[in-house]
Amino acid sequence: MIRALISIVVYLLIGFCLIYRVKTANGFVLFLKGNKDNNFKLVLYFWPIVIAFLYGLYNKYVIGIQPVISGDRLNYLQDFNGRLTGFVIFDTYLRIVRSLTNDFSVLLALTTFLCCWLIFIALKKSVYKCVDAAIFIVLSYFIFTTLTALKQAPVSALAAIMIVVLIEKPCLKSDILSIFIIFLSCGLHITGYVLIPVFILLRIKSIEKHRTIIILVLSIIVYVFFQQILMLFGQIVNPYFPNISRKIISYVAEDTIHASDGGSLLLAAFKGFPYYALSIIGLVDRKKHSKEQSYDKYLVLSILGALSSLLTLFSYWYSRISVLFIFPMAILYGMIMKKRFGKDKIIVCIVVIGSLAFFTIRSVFLNYINYGGY
């Protein structure tokens, strides 16, 4: 219990550093002789590296490695020692790190650093960056996923970059970067394939007044059956890419087996309460943001994130996906809070952030109580 409390306190202290840097907007201002633009670039990228580095140290020294490694960390230790996962990009990443060090804890800390750095860069690049969005990210379970989900967490971080460039900076360069991110993500984890329909969704042009509702309905239909679509995709590519096909089918089939545990699935769905509340509030506030073109896209992605949690009632596979949408949900929350005032703002904060913090802290305590740590 004491170790869990220390872990949470240190985590929140680092989170406070992130929130403070976002609040000050300009970050660490270093005045150097020379071009003013160079100073701007230095400020832009300096604090995300510092905060991400602190979270990397947090992983290595506060969380550390348990005397007996088990669970996902044990699987990744075996991968680190030479076992191939079938995900080419991830296997390459492990080989590169292994060529530099044999220390498994360095791999864990480096992964946390890279994932945090990417999502902080996405936050910094967004025109909607604000303290409320930073608070949402800190109190979500995203950073804790980087402690154990070494394949999935990088996909979630890369997704944040893809989402912000596609929504806020649409251009050919953004499309090329997004396709590259999808390529990397599919080589890291099965959830990388989810970014393909997300990319298509975000590239749809404005056609008619009620396009958002139409797009949302179509997206939900595709999303609900995405597990079956992945299974079909795995069967189709089997003659050409048997290793990829085997991985896709095994992942989806494994999580289908988990669906028999009704109690666990019900609890997993209940954990999505903050996402459900955020999506409902986002729909209610939609008229307030009619002049913000990006609002609807962040709202649609947030609803898909909430839907991921809800669909765990039927298949545990969807529990892997909601973390992909932490970033757009954080941005949406920040946009909502800017148009809320007084008691309304306090109520939204208590409902969304309060429940988000509760489930995150609860998960941390349970990890220490049930497993002695991460």
Ordered by start, the domain boundaries in the chain are 2-371
- Are 196 and 181 a contacting pair, CB within 8 Å? no
pTM here? 0.85
Which SS3 state, helix, strand or coil, does residue 212 take? helix
Q: What is the mean pLDDT of the chain?
A: 83
Give me the torsion for CA of 49, 55, 60, 64, rounded to 10°.
Answer: -170
User: Which pLDDT tens digit goes with each residue over 9-29?
Assistant: 999 999 999 998 887 754 433
Between CA 123 and CA 190 the distance in angstroms is: 25
Q: Name the nearest CA neighbour of 53 among 140, 133, 98, 116.
A: 116
Between CA 132 and CA 112 the distance in angstroms is: 22
- Are 157 and 114 a contacting pair, CB within 8 Å? yes
DSSP 97-142: HHHH---HHHHHHHHHHHHHHHHHHHHHH-TT--HHHHHHHHHSSH
94 CB neighbour count, 10 Å cutoff: 21
What pLDDT band is residue 359 in, cutting at 50, 70 and 90?
Answer: very high
User: Which pLDDT tens digit goes with each residue over 276-311?
Assistant: 999 999 999 998 988 888 998 999 899 989 988 887
